[in-house]
Amino acid sequence: MAGRLAGKRIAIIATDGVEQAELTEPRKAVTDEGAVADLISVSGGSIQAMNGDIHPADTFEVDKLASAVQAQDYDALLLPGGTVSADRLRMDEDVVAFVRQIVATGKPVGVICHGPWALVEADVVRGRTLTSYPSIRTDITNAGGTVVDEEVVIDQGIVSSRNPDDLPAFCATIVEEFAKGQDAGAIG
């Protein structure tokens, strides 16, 4: 039986320091529904995931480099958290350009914890409502977004959650929004 995301390609952008559960649980949610999920990073090889930002967890093989991907090749984007990963990603020009392209095309985005830093850097939170880890809420506000403290928020195709405790609701919601496709991110 084909899942709700059969035939869809999902870009997951992460690097060393990604919060393991925020990578693995959403990835499993979309692949269980039939999507192909590529792990995209700033360098090749593998990335080191963490538990609670400080405890080394598993490593994951990178499928593609951020410098070699384009928004047209994907149906949706996942931005897991992890303080170190999110901070490194927002400083990478290729990642920021890719994030900006995905949002500009109206494709759905799932972002959790510190993941919104890439959205802030891409200047795509203005006029949107998101939730996030508490320490980056000022960054979202300063970038023109509105922050709420809720388990999961959907606004113009961007699904956001606060932390790993929100993963069950986050995963269910991204599957629904990714199944809707590009129309989920349409503005207006």
Mean pLDDT of 118-146: 98
Give the closest residue to 170 by CA, choosing from 153, 184, 187: 153
Q: What is the dihedral of CA 62, 66, 67, 68, to 10 degrees?
A: 70
Let me know if residue 82 belongs to a domain. Answer: yes
For residue 184, is pLDDT > 60? no
Token pair recorded at residue 99: 């994030």
Q: Is residue 71 part of a domain?
A: yes
Residue 3 domain-assigned (yes or no): no
Is residue 2 situated within a structural domain? Answer: no
The CATH number given to whatever domain includes residue 151 is: 3.40.50.880
Query: Structure pTM?
Result: 0.95
Residue range 31-82, pLDDT digits in tens: 999 999 999 999 999 999 999 999 999 999 999 999 999 999 999 999 999 9
Residue span of the structural domain in which 66 resides: 9-183
Distance CA(25)–CA(105), nearest Å, equals 26
Helix (H) or strand (E) holding 177, with range, is helix 167-180
What is the β-pairing status of strands 158-161 and 109-112?
Answer: parallel
Q: Which of 14, 23, 84, 113 is catalytic?
A: 113
171 is catalytic: no
Would you say residue 188 lies in a domain?
no
The residues, ordered by sequence, that sit 6+ positions from 183 with a Cβ below 8 Å of its Cβ are 106
Give the total number of structural domains in the chain: 1
pLDDT tens digits for range 168-181: 999 999 999 999 98
In a domain, 141, yes or no: yes
Q: β-strand 55-61 against 129-130: which pairing, if any?
A: unpaired
| 36 found inside a domain | yes
Single out the catalytic residue among 90, 114, 137, 162: 114
Residue 122 lies inside a defined structural domain of this protein: yes
